[in-house]
Amino acid sequence: MPFKKTLFDRIPSQWRLAVLLALFVGTSIALTLALVRSTVSRDLQHLTSRIIVDDLVEYAAIYAANGIEGVADVFPAGQHGDSNGLRITAATGELLYENMPKSMRDLSWPKLPHANEWQSNPTVLQQPVTSGKDTLLTVGTTRLHDGNYLWFGRTDEESRRYQHNITIYLWLAGILAAAVALLPVVWYSHEVLMPIRAFTNSARHLHLPEGTARLMAPRAIPELKTLASVVNAGLDQILSLSRELQGTNDQLAHELRTPLARIRGNLESLLDKSDNAEAQDAAARSLEEIDRAAQLVQSILTIRAGDHGALRLYKQQTSVHDLLYNLVELFTPAAEDRGLTLGIKQGLDLVLNIDRELINQAISNLLDNALAYTPRGGRITLRWQAEGTGAVLFVEDTGPGVHPEEMEMIWERYNRGSSIFTRHPGIGLGLSLVRAIAMSHGGSVGVMNRVTGGASFWVRLPQC
């Protein structure tokens, strides 16, 4: 059942509507055809009976006036075609006269009606059963004034041709109706689905950092245009507030650098000149907090510069193996304290022209996250692989992974994934800093969940 539901959900809505209309029109045509055929068949049978009775009355009058010779002269001139035949028999059943088309000679005519059948009607109609024949024969019989019997038979060939023509016309009308019924599908596809696709295509860019993408569908129906304008107005307001907040943060970070440096200088002077142990300890702890605040300020400024391509790089030829190996040595004690295994997967050594300190800071942030969220007994692995003239650096862990809907969001400033625990401090700048450093090198970042469990964060660095 889930497979069927998934398969049905993949069918485009215009095809669903087309199938629905096809079923509706097809059912309507079938019901109409069945009703018309039944009604026409009944009316044609009634008409056949009336024609037979009228012709019997007519030829009985001719027989009464001119005998068999009169009937023999008049009947052929009536142009009855291949669907009418006439007989005159004696009361004993002897055939006195017959004018029968070739198509009716193989049909069995009924026997003479019983005497009690004449009591209420001067004319008796019968439909003999003809085995192996598709043709239906209706025969009327009337008793003449001299005791002989006049027989008039009529097949349903003309009726069937008439019904066949009606069926063709009905099918043509049905096909035309189906074509007309598809016009709403064309309108729906052009006026509704195409604008919605345009909305979808433009919505794919809403997550971009600049936040300037908007829902676009110039040929949409008024309701969709109204929806787009409402959504775009909300996005404009969000963008304005975000820019105002980011501007405030950047300005605040910029303004805090100088006071923090002065406070740090004063604390260092106090630490050097004071002989009081408690004062020295307080000054040392204050210096640690100042350094943490200064690092936060610097991270905000680095992210901002990286997003705008204004981050100054000091590039040098750097061995990828040496860079990652030094990081493994640096973080191994912290990993052991948490009961984790930290290792490196050897690969072909590559040399990239990069800012070693910044890339070192980016990979360190990824390692900090891996150490924080990988449960005890887990493993963290650093590896790399060549890609063109550049390389992709990986930090893989056996932690909880990343929710699929958050794989883009976690790279934004002040965003933290749902797998984050409250015991892990931070305000959501680490991954933003990693992305800013990668972008400043012309590269990119990303994350994917591993099949065996955990997450694999990567940094792509081109050879510049």
Between residues 324 and 291, which one has the greater pLDDT? Answer: 324
- How far is the C-alpha of 216 from the C-alpha of 224, rounded, in Å? 10
- How far is the C-alpha of 307 from the C-alpha of 243, rounded, in Å? 13
Dump pLDDT digits (tens) for 122-137.
777 777 766 556 778 8
pLDDT at 424 > cutoff 70: no
The per-residue pLDDT of the chain, averaged, comes to 80
In a domain, 46, yes or no: yes
Q: b/e per residue, 409-440, with b = 16+ CB within 10 A?
A: bbbbbebbbeebeeeeeeebbbbbbbbbbbbb
User: Beta strand 379-387 with 149-155: parallel, antiparallel or unpaired?
Assistant: unpaired
**CATH at 457:** 3.30.565.10
- Percent of the chain at pLDDT exceeding 90: 20
Question: What's the mean pLDDT in 153-158?
Answer: 85
pLDDT at 368 > cutoff 80: yes
Task: Show which of 307, 324, 354 is a domain's final residue.
Answer: 307
In a domain, 346, yes or no: yes
Task: Print the domain residue range for 335.
Answer: 316-461
Give the model's pLDDT for residue 301: 66
Considering only 105-109, 141-145, 258-262, 417-421, which range has the smallest mean pLDDT?
417-421
Between residues 41 and 328, which one has the greater pLDDT? Answer: 328
Q: Are residues 167 and 20 in the same domain?
A: yes
In a domain, 60, yes or no: yes
Give the model's pLDDT for residue 327: 93
Q: Are residues 29 and 166 in the same domain?
A: yes
Task: Show which of 113, 144, 179 is a domain's final residue.
Answer: 179
Task: Show which of 275, 307, 339 is a domain's final residue.
Answer: 307
Q: Are residues 452 and 426 in the same domain?
A: yes
Question: What's the mean pLDDT in 19-38?
Answer: 81
pLDDT at 345 > cutoff 80: yes
Q: Are residues 368 and 456 in the same domain?
A: yes
Q: What is the DSSP string of 27-86?
A: HHHHHHHHHHHHHHHHHHHHHHHHHHHHHHHHHHHHHHHHHHHHHHHHHHHT--GGGEEE
Dump pLDDT digits (tens) for 209-218.
556 677 776 6
Q: Are residues 46 and 102 in the same domain?
A: yes
How far apart, in Å, are the Cα atoms of 130 and each of 53, 155, 277, 449? Answer: 22, 12, 127, 78
Q: Of 35, 212, 56, 265, whose CA–CA distance to 149 is shortest? A: 56
Q: Are residues 162 and 285 in the same domain?
A: no
**CATH at 63:** 3.30.450
Residue 19 — very low, low, confident or very high, per pLDDT cuts 50/70/90?
Answer: confident
Residue 449 — very low, low, confident or very high, per pLDDT cuts 50/70/90?
Answer: very high
Q: Are residues 138 and 18 in the same domain?
A: yes
Residue 310 — very low, low, confident or very high, per pLDDT cuts 50/70/90?
Answer: low
Structure tokens at 225: 């245009």
Give the model's pLDDT for residue 115: 65
- How far is the C-alpha of 39 from the C-alpha of 60, rounded, in Å? 32
Put simply, whether the predicted model's pTM sits higher than 0.75 gets the answer no
Dump pLDDT digits (tens) for 230-245.
887 887 787 776 666 5
pLDDT at 145 > cutoff 90: no
Residue 272 burial by CB count (10 A; 0-12/13-18/19+): exposed, middle or buried? exposed
Dump pLDDT digits (tens) for 241-263.
666 656 665 665 556 666 766 77
- How far is the C-alpha of 158 from the C-alpha of 135, rounded, in Å? 11
Q: Per this entry, what is the length of the chain?
A: 464
In a domain, 199, yes or no: no
Q: Are residues 246 and 127 in the same domain?
A: no
Give the model's pLDDT for residue 408: 83
Q: Are residues 346 and 404 in the same domain?
A: yes
**CATH at 245:** 1.10.287
Residue 80 — very low, low, confident or very high, per pLDDT cuts 50/70/90?
Answer: low
Q: Are residues 290 and 410 in the same domain?
A: no
Q: How many helices (H) and strands (E) does the chain have?
A: 10, 12
In a domain, 190, yes or no: no
In a domain, 430, yes or no: yes
Q: How many CB atoms lie within 10 A of CB 184?
A: 12
In a domain, 241, yes or no: yes
Q: Are residues 259 and 325 in the same domain?
A: no
Question: What's the mean pLDDT in 197-225?
Answer: 70
Considering only 12-26, 100-114, 352-366, 410-424, which range has the smallest mean pLDDT?
410-424
Q: Are residues 302 and 327 in the same domain?
A: no
- How far is the C-alpha of 375 from the C-alpha of 371, rounded, in Å? 8
In a domain, 204, yes or no: no
How many folded domains does the chain comprise? 3
